[in-house]
Amino acid sequence: MFKQSIYMTDLRIHTPDTGLRAAYDHCDVNGFPVPFYYAAPAGKSNLPVVLVVQEIFGLHAYIADVCRRFAQQGYLAIAADLYKRQGNATDFDDIPQLMSGLVNRVPQDQVLADLDATLAWAGANGGDLGRAAITGFCWGGRISWLYCAHNPTVRTGVAWYGRLMGAKTALQPEHPLDITERLRVPVLALYGGKDAGIPLSMVDEMKNALATAATAGNPAAAQSTFVIYPEAEHAFHADYRPAYRASDAADGFQRTLDWFAAHGVA
């Protein structure tokens, strides 16, 4: 069942919180308490910040572990529960129900505003907003692209296999393909060559849109780049899912750290 296979603790990687301050907390956004998980080196301040954006399955053990992985590298990493106003991902038995009953009901503008508030909390609690970035997986990969066109505070982003195009709705009016000319900062895009939902033809279309935006004078589009893992499927970083590829996941995480450092987030 969906709940058994996704809301699990059978992660292949278990990152300890030794030497970290790590906890669940919340920040207020227009009177609503948005929950989040954060992790950071204990006893330190002025830390680089990374927003970690959830998959479609919400804020669960894997996303919290990713926060600790960044924290062990010296970051204040923070992941908000971006569905909370609309419901809980754990209430759904399969992915189609989850998409129709929850994910597609979450307004894009709400997500961006909640991320803004989460980032502000990080800045007030030990983070250096002069060194901030965003990364996300699947649903969060798409959001990472959009956020890099939204908030001028972040210096860069890394999008892991986020959807690039698709149907638009009043609640979700844009996709990454639509915002290339508005990108404020460069994006590193990590995608699988065998991703059935995001074929390489879509990646090529996104590359073309970035090239057009670059020609029109957008330096962030010019600096954005894709890395394709030829044998990887969707969700190759998610170490609790069958598509996990340890070597590609490790390479992508190191590339993320290197990309952040190269863009002043370290």
pLDDT value, residue 73: 98
Using a 10 angstrom Cβ sphere, with 0-12 exposed, 13-18 middle and 19 or more buried, the burial of residue 227 is middle
**Out of 93-107, 185-199, 220-234, which region has the weakest mean confidence (pLDDT)?**
93-107
What length does the chain have?
266
What phi, psi does 42 have (nearest 5°)? Answer: -70, 140
DSSP for 16-78, please give it: --TTEEEEEEEEEETTEEEEEEEEEETT--SEEEEEEE-BTTBS-HHHHHHHHHHHTTT-EEE
Contact of 165 with 202, CB cutoff 8 Å = yes
The Cα–Cα gap between 111 and 103 comes to: 11
Q: Give residue 261's pLDDT band: very low, low, confident or very high (50, 70, 90).
A: very high
Q: Give residue 218's pLDDT band: very low, low, confident or very high (50, 70, 90).
A: very high
pLDDT value, residue 114: 98
Domains of the chain (ranges, CATH numbers): 2-262 (3.40.50.1820)
The Cα–Cα gap between 75 and 70 comes to: 5
Question: Six-digit token pair at 74?
Answer: 């010296």
Contact of 164 with 206, CB cutoff 8 Å = yes
Q: What is the pTM of this model?
A: 0.96
pLDDT value, residue 2: 44
The Cα–Cα gap between 130 and 48 comes to: 8
Catalytic residue numbers read 138, 195, 234
pLDDT value, residue 93: 84
Contacts of 204 (CB under 8 A, 6+ apart): none
pLDDT one-digit tens code per residue, 127-177? 999 999 999 999 999 999 999 999 999 999 999 999 999 999 999 999 999
Closest CA relative to residue 55, chosen from 205, 146, 159, 190: 159
The Cα–Cα gap between 23 and 161 comes to: 27
The Cα–Cα gap between 53 and 46 comes to: 22
Q: Is the pLDDT of residue 212 over 90?
A: yes
pLDDT value, residue 13: 92
Q: Is the pLDDT of residue 37 over 70?
A: yes
The Cα–Cα gap between 266 and 263 comes to: 8
Q: Is the pLDDT of residue 90 over 90?
A: no
Q: Is the pLDDT of residue 8 over 90?
A: no
